[in-house]
Structure 1
């Protein structure tokens, strides 16, 4: 085994265990422990898509994951964003075209990727769903037609974006594009940890085709030759089975603690802290791992997720979001991005975060109005939750309050009762009405209790009510007339700020390594490819790297992973 002399990166802002690359004269200078055509670093949605497409193309593949595999894909709500006339959309009688999908997504992606890449994403979207189904992923076709953060368990296709918002409908006809992987109805009530319905069939298909999967293998260094080509990796692993089982047991215990409550519910942080204490015990065992050198004959794929679980990196790149609740897994520590940077890869959009401030359901929450700390309204309250969250943090100092009246509060509680909403949606609404809401018979009194400017809040109320009464499309933020209702006393105010105690705001990172969009190859500061190195999913800049909507990250993982696999395979 070649013993590299890698040292930690010297930058004080590195915040990672990733080390400088191992430099060798050539492949023959290393005594490799394993050798495959492709080495995949990080086995989540992007990793499994890359591996499976590469195996289909005849390559030998080894996938390494720091933990058990699955990443953020396996813990999410099992949503894939797809359109353009997928087989599922057709079965559900949803009219959509690739051009219509492009016109919508252009509003979200803006210029983060080229129009050519975005069109390719939309044009190939129906084929992506067919490919997933061919690999064993099942989708339902019952449709939820209204606005919601996540539909009831009986519904498997929904508007997981802003397509129903008036301002977006100007550019594209609404079409439900959130495709939920099929799970039993009762299981679906959880809304989280359902991504196995997408990930597990892909994983099994890859294993059936000969994938060598090595879990609990942490890649610390890339191996680079004299031609500046990436030819392999150095990974740390437990070669003592007893020690590995002890490590896994601690990890599983921490995972159980993290699954007790959904991340957006108060109380989650209590269990999260207990989980972190268990993880520290596991981390102490990592010093007893051994090295393994693995050759990549055709390329290395970096697909190890974002960096939302690396508090130091988050504070360095996006300190505005420090008070957010990390949305992802412990593996989202930025190591894949740092590996790319260690050999000259450059990053982009590292300060771009998706913060999820969902207030609907209950729909009646969305029929109130939201103000910033100056008492001014700033958005259509029924836009997609991440659109609201990012606007709140980026332009309003992360501070916002939801203004309701007695009728809306009563209606909201009714809308989440009797199984009409998922448990986490019901509990979040009740907690905030019962324990967080501030009440006053007058708008001036409410302003005083919330420490908001009374005159400004009064003006917003009058303006909002005027648009509600007029019912002529006159709302300044283009909220639909159907969702505008006149608000009268008594008044309620709920703190929905980034740091609201009873209204946690989950967040994930969207920035990553810059890549050649046609091939997935990592780029250096001169815009040239780093030979032998690829990136996909949240390790790379992609379709979802500007604005997030539900299912778009998973879809981008599959799209970018398969795209890179085609180039690696020479297809």
Structure 2
């Protein structure tokens, strides 16, 4: 039996509108996170009459995010930091890291347009300091504007691709999502777009197969807004629709922190499904366990419930969390010897400390003999500066032989993993919603987590805000060519 909260939401035929149209515009944007803001700005600056609406006050998940945008190809920020890059290198890396074909039109457009998009953001108040910060994954505590954010400098990617930093961080300390949203809000206020908050979208309105508007509920009353050029869905994902999670990514129900707000209820996915839209990547998810910074943490060794290593510790922490959750039954431990022990930025500490690896194994419930074998093999190779099993970078490889030995608990049941689903509605390279038969739905576009991510299998920090703002603008350019 289907759950009503996961069912498609059918459109409303224009002939069935009881009270006609309450208002109209060239473009209607549903949702005012980063994707919706960028869409609205671009459309208004192209001369369109724009209605931008949000069920609350706007900002959404974007305002609570770290603020990283994955951009590259040779941006001014990269060049200023002494980092060289090309669109083809960016595309080759992302194809490998995200699990999307290198010739995918959306990926091609994103990489080819990344420099222009960077410059557009800068022109609209989103500054980036051209300084590289060498602690990967998380936003800097200062205003440094460039980081590794997808395991670019770690195995397996550094074996196939030249490591290039592409995580662009807006110039404000720590989490920068609010800064990005505020700068885009300021830019939107300088346009003629009409912003309607506390307007909750309910159904799309169609004339034949053409989307021509949307119904919204305001103070308990239902109104219909007509879109002369198109409707852009930028209203978030489905991280807080437990029925959809149970159907597609049930493991996300086990983690402590799903990234999103209550607006990430799957509404956009469900209304596109009501029009026969195709979906992709519905089992894909980002799951992060933030063991770094500092990067020196990765001199430790991570083992599973069998006392065996299963990954290179210097990988992107999103790959680590995803692997622990999906392949290791949610169980992992980070092990140190005394000289290499460090408390990370999240305050994760060793609660178990013993004089031998065997004693430690018994204390945390691992097979003592197997853990001893694992550590003996690792230490023998590490004495030669090598990780023969998973090719951790040599700078992080050191024997762990000086007692006492400690274990940091990385089990999903005991620490805060952060995640969200990546799959969703298929869109083309101009953010048009694609049906199951490959045709597009006239008048309907989707961007941000309202659409399926470029990340089909794995994630890089910054893809969500990068692709959301980029394809929001692409939707505007498709509706309003100049």
TM class by shorter chain equals over 0.9
- Number of the residue aligned with 1:24: 14
1:48 to 25, 28, 37: 37
> Does residue 455 of structure 1 match 2:369?
yes
116 and 24 in structure 1: CA distance in 2 versus 1, 3 angstrom threshold:
closer
TM-score by length of structure 1 reads 0.80
Q: Which residue of 2 aligns with 1:555?
A: 466
1:292 paired residue among 200, 223, 226? 223
Q: Classify the secondary structure of the residue corresponding to 2:78.
A: helix
Say whether the 8 Å CA contact 2:68–2:139 is kept in structure 1. no
Q: State the 1:512 CA deviation.
A: 0.9
2:171 matched residue in structure 1? 182
Pick from 190, 202, 210 the counterpart of residue 229 of structure 1: 210
Residue 454 of structure 2 is aligned with which of 540, 543, 561? 543
Give 1:498 shift.
Answer: 1.8
Matched residue, 1:93: 82
Quick one: distance in 2 between partners of 1:522 and 1:14?
23
Q: Mind listing any 5+ residue stretches in structure 2 that lack a counterpart?
A: none
SS in 2 for 1:322: helix
**Residue 522 in 1 paired to residue 433 in 2?**
yes
Per-residue CA distance 1:306-357 (angstroms, 9 max, x = gap): 1112233222221112121111222111111112112222322122110011
Could you say which residue in structure 1 is the equivalent of 2:394?
A: 481
C-alpha separation in 1, matches of 2:286 and 2:297 = 21
| 1:15/1:428 CA distance change after superposition, 3 Å | farther
How many residues align? The count is 480
User: 1:507 Cα deviation (Å)?
Assistant: 0.6
C-alpha displacement at 1:40, in angstroms?
0.9
1:564 has 2:465 as partner: no
Counterpart Cα distance in 1 of 2:135 and 2:281? 32
Task: Decide which moves more: 345-354 or 307-316.
Answer: 307-316
Secondary structure at the aligned position of 2:74 is classed as coil
Aligned to 1:428: 347
1:148 is displaced (CA, Å) by 5.2
Given candidates 496, 502, 507, the residue that maps to 2:419 is 507
Corresponding position of 2:97: 108
Which among 121, 130, 141 is matched to residue 141 of structure 1? 130
Q: Which moved more, 1:164-173 or 1:84-93?
A: 164-173
Tell me which stretches of 4 or more aligned residues in structure 1 moved more than 4 Å.
16-19
Q: 2:430, 2:322 → 1: CA distance?
A: 30
1:153-179 deviation per Cα after TM superposition (whole angstroms, max 9, x unaligned): 142221122111142112222222111
Note if contact 1:103-1:171 (Cα within 8 Å) is conserved in structure 2: no
Partner SS, residue 129 of structure 1: helix
Alignment partner of 1:323 out of 243, 246, 254: 254
TM superposition shift of 1:384: 0.7
| 3-state SS of paired residue (1:206) | helix
Equivalent residue number for residue 353 of structure 1: 285
Match of 1:209 in 2: 191
8 A contact 1:443–1:458 mirrored in 2:
yes
Conserved 8 A contact 1:98-1:122? yes
3-state SS of the aligned residue for 1:210? coil
Aligned partners of 1:138, 1:570: CA distance in 2, in Å?
A: 27
Task: Report the CA distance between 1:301 and its aligned residue.
Answer: 0.9
How far the C-alpha of 1:113 sits from its partner, in A, is 7.3
Task: Provide the secondary structure at the position in 2 that maps to 1:386.
Answer: helix
Pick the aligned partner of 1:220 from 199, 202, 209: 202
Shift of 1:70: 1.2
Give yes or no for contact 2:71–2:166 (8 Å, CA) kept in 1.
Answer: yes
CA distance in 1, matches of 2:64, 2:135: 25
Alpha carbons of 1:154 and 1:293: their partners in 2 closer, same or farther (altered >3 Å)?
Answer: closer
Aligned partner of 1:439 in structure 2 is 353
TM-aligned CA distance change 1:26 to 1:228, over 3 Å:
farther
Q: Would you say the 8 A contact 1:18–1:221 is kept in 2?
A: no
Match for residue 63 of structure 1? 52
Report what 2:114 is aligned to. 125
What is the correspondence of 1:236-255 to structure 2 with a 5 Å cutoff?
236-238=217-219
Residue pair 1:147, 1:164 contacting (<8 A) in 2 also: no
Of 394, 415, 438, the match for 2:326: 394
| Deviation, structure 1 residue 13 | 2.5
Deviation sequence 1:61-111 (CA, Å, 0-9, x none): 111111111122111122111111111111222121222212221211222
Q: How far apart are the structure 1 equivalents of 2:340 and 2:3? A: 48
Deviation at 1:428, TM superposition (A): 2.0
Q: Secondary structure at the match of 2:398?
A: coil
Is the deviation greater in 170-179 or in 79-88?
170-179
CA distance in 2 between partners of 1:135 and 1:149 (Å)? 24
**Cα gap change, 1:149 to 1:196, in 2 (>3 Å):** closer
Measure the CA separation in 2 of the matches of 1:230 and 1:544: 27
Q: Is the 8 A contact 1:511 1:539 kept in 2?
A: no
The equivalent residue for 2:232 is 301
Q: Unaligned regions of 5+ residues in structure 1, if any?
A: 1-10, 239-288, 417-424
Shift of 1:112: 6.0
CA deviations over 1:277-318 (Å, ceiling 9, x no partner): xxxxxxxxxxxx111110111111111111112233222221
